[in-house]
Amino acid sequence: MNLINLFDLSLLGRGGKTALEFEGASYTFGEMDARANRMARALTARGFEQGGRLCVQLANCVEMIDLYLACLKTGVIFVPVNVLYKDREVAHIVSDAEPRLLVTASEAAELAREAAALPADRPAAPALDGDAPAGIIYTSGTTGASKGAVITHNNLATNALNLITCWQIGEADRLLLAIPLFHVHGLGNGLHTWLISGCRVRMLERFEHRKAASEFLDFRPTLFFGVPTIYVRLLDLPAEAACEIGAFMRLFVSGSAPLPAQVLEDFEARYGHRILERYGMTETLMNMGNPYVGERRAGTVGLPFPGVSARVLDPDGLCVADGQSGELYVKGPNVFPGYWRREEATDAAFADGYFRTGDIAVRAADGYYTLQGRKSDLIISGGFNIYPREIEEFLCGQEGVKEAAVAGVADRVRGEVPVAYIVAGAGFDAEATEAKCRAALASFKVPRAFIAVDKLPRTALGKIQKHLLPSATSASGS
C-alpha cells in the first residue's frame, strides 16, 4: 500500500468534514483531495514524471500541502527545503537532488493558478508500492555538506500509524500545527497523523510566541506538537490562559531536541499536563517515546515504538549492559533505506542492519532510554540542526580569518546557540564577518558572538578540543 491508499481510507465518509483551517479559510477533506488532484495534473502538464524531484522552499501554506500530495499521487519525489536557507545553502540541495523545479512563493502561486484551471477528478496514477520514495529530506552529516535522506511511503505510513495508535489520535482530535512542514517533525508527524486519522488541523505559517495564546484559545486544540523552544515560550503565557488551555488540551508532545526536566515540571505545574517527550531523526522518523498511559519520565525519551528495535553498543560494537552508555542503533520499518546517491555514506550509516544514530544513550533496567549527547558536535537551536563544520568552513573563507571553531552555548530559550572562536589575522572585522554570515547562512546558524583567540586548543593530532575553548554566555534569551 502507498500513502494515498491510506489517505483514501480516511476520506471515506469524511469528504465534507473540515480538514484544515489556515489563515481564516477552511477546507474539507474532499476539497483537499480535489486540490491535490488538480496540482498533480499541473505537475504532469509541466512534464514531471515518476521519480523526478520537486524542491519546495515554502513556509507552511496550503499550496505546500497540495504540492506534497500531488507528488505522492504522481510518484514525484518531494524535496522540502528550510525556508530560512539562503541561496548558498539552497544551491547545494538543488545541485545534489537535481530537481526539475525549485518552488518558492512566486512559483507556488503560478502553479496554483495552473492547477485551478484543471479538472479535480483523479489523474491516472502510477502503481507505487510502499518502498517507493515519497521524499528526500536534507540533513547534515558530520561533514559540512548535507545529505539527502530518502524517505519511503512505508517509512511515513509506519511512523504515522505508530503515533496514531500510541497517542490515541482520532477524528475528534484538533491539532494545532505550528511547526514547519519542511522537516520530518511537521511533515511526518503532523501532516500524516492528520490525513490518516481524519482529525481537524489548524496550521500556522509558523509559531510566533506573541500570538500563541490567541491561537490556542481561539482554535481550542486537543493536540499539540512542539520543540522544546516552543514549550519554553509557552511558559511565559499568563496563568489564566495556561489554565484554560490545559482544560481543553488532551496531549502535548515534545521532540527534535532535549526537553529540560525543569521545563517539563514547570509546564505541568502551569498547564496541568505532563508533556510526552519522544525522540526521532530525519533518517528514522520516530524511534522512541514516553508512554501515553504510564510514566512520562522526565529527561528520558521513553521506550521504542512498536516495530523499532534498539541496541546500545560500545566502540567495539558489543552491546553494553543496562545503565551503561554507548551509541544507539535502531532498526525497523521506520528507518530510511539510505542517502540519495551516496552509497558510501549509506554503507557507513548501517551496521548489521541497524542504523547508527550518532546519539549516545543509556537504557534503564525497566527499558526507558535516556539520551546523553551526540558523538558529533551537532548544535540544535530551536529544533533546527547546525553543523559547526559548515560554519567553520564558511568563516575560514572570510577576510582576516586564519582559523575558526564554532561551538554551541547553552541558551534558555533555544537550547543552544552557535558562537564562533576566531584566530584573526590582518583585516579581520567582526561586524563585517557577521554581516557576511547573515547574507549567506540561515539566521539560526549565524554565530551570536565572535570571540578572538590567539590559537585554537588542539590535540597532538591537530583535532580542535572544543571543550577547552573559553566559555561564552549566550547573548540571546529573547
* Nearest residue to 305 (alpha-carbon basis) of 260, 261, 335, 265: 335
Which partner from the list ligand AMP, ligand MLC, none does 357 bind, CB cut-off 5 to 8 Å by kind?
ligand AMP
Verify binding: residue 384, ligand MLC, rule CB under 6 A: yes
Tell me the closest approach of the beta carbon of residue 457 to ligand AMP, in angstroms: 25
Q: What is the identity of the amino acid at 314?
A: D
Verify binding: residue 304, ligand MLC, rule CB under 6 A: no
Q: Residue 444 and residue 386: Cα distance in Å, rounded?
A: 8
Stretch that binds ligand MLC, among 102-110, 195-203, 204-212, 341-349 (CB under 6 A): 204-212
Nearer to ligand MLC by Cβ, of 73 and 147: the residue is: 147
Query: With CB under 6 A, what is the number of residues at the site for ligand MLC?
Result: 28
Q: What is the bridge-based pairing of β-strands 325-331 and 354-363?
A: antiparallel
The alpha carbon dihedral of 165, 167, 172, 176 has a sign of negative
* Nearest residue to 385 (alpha-carbon basis) of 139, 60, 147, 213: 139
Which partner from the list ligand MLC, ligand AMP, none does 186 bind, CB cut-off 5 to 8 Å by kind?
ligand MLC
Nearer to ligand MLC by Cβ, of 23 and 322: the residue is: 23
Q: How far is CA 330 from CA 132, 352, 353, in A?
A: 21, 10, 9
Which partner from the list ligand AMP, ligand MLC, none does 83 bind, CB cut-off 5 to 8 Å by kind?
ligand MLC
Verify binding: residue 186, ligand MLC, rule CB under 6 A: yes
Q: Three cell numbers at 81?
A: 527545503
Nearer to ligand AMP by Cβ, of 197 and 300: the residue is: 300
Q: Which 97-156 residues touch ligand MLC, going by CB under 6 A? A: none
Verify binding: residue 256, ligand MLC, rule CB under 6 A: yes
Which partner from the list ligand MLC, ligand AMP, none does 59 bind, CB cut-off 5 to 8 Å by kind?
ligand MLC
Site string for ligand MLC, 41-60 (x = CB under 6 A): ------------------x-
Footprint on this chain of ligand AMP (rule: CB under 6 A): 139, 255-258, 277, 279-282, 301, 357, 359, 371, 374, 380, 385
Which partner from the list ligand MLC, ligand AMP, none does 185 bind, CB cut-off 5 to 8 Å by kind?
ligand MLC
Which partner from the list ligand AMP, ligand MLC, none does 374 bind, CB cut-off 5 to 8 Å by kind?
ligand AMP
Verify binding: residue 206, ligand MLC, rule CB under 6 A: yes
Q: How many CA atoms lie within 13 A of 448 on its CB side?
A: 19
Q: How far is CA 139 from CA 14, 151, 244, 393, in A?
A: 36, 12, 38, 17
Q: Three cell numbers at 411?
A: 541558551
Verify binding: residue 233, ligand MLC, rule CB under 6 A: yes
Task: Name the H helices within 46-125.
Answer: 62-74, 87-97, 105-116
* Nearest residue to 137 (alpha-carbon basis) of 99, 206, 65, 82: 82
Question: Residues 372, 361: contact at Cβ < 8 Å?
Answer: yes
Q: How far is CA 327 from CA 11, 119, 217, 221, 316, in A?
A: 42, 52, 42, 37, 11
- Interface with ligand MLC (CB under 6 A), residue from 19, 39, 161, 230: 230
Verify binding: residue 184, ligand MLC, rule CB under 6 A: yes
Q: How far is CA 175 from CA 19, 82, 147, 372, in A?
A: 10, 22, 31, 30
User: What are the residues facing 452 on neighbouring strands?
Assistant: 422
Verify binding: residue 185, ligand MLC, rule CB under 6 A: yes
Which partner from the list ligand MLC, ligand AMP, none does 382 bind, CB cut-off 5 to 8 Å by kind?
ligand MLC
Verify binding: residue 88, ligand MLC, rule CB under 6 A: no
Site string for ligand MLC, 153-182 (x = CB under 6 A): --------------------------xx--
* Nearest residue to 285 (alpha-carbon basis) of 357, 349, 228: 357
Q: How many CA atoms lie within 13 A of 455 on its CB side?
A: 5
Site string for ligand MLC, 358-377 (x = CB under 6 A): --------------------
Q: How many CA atoms lie within 13 A of 378 on its CB side?
A: 23
Residue number, nearest CB to ligand MLC: 382
Which partner from the list ligand MLC, ligand AMP, none does 228 bind, CB cut-off 5 to 8 Å by kind?
none
Q: What is the bridge-based pairing of β-strands 200-203 and 25-28?
A: unpaired
What does the binding site for ligand MLC look like in residue numbers (CB under 6 A)? 59, 83-84, 179-180, 183-186, 206-207, 209, 227, 229-230, 233, 255-256, 280-282, 382-384, 413-414, 443-444
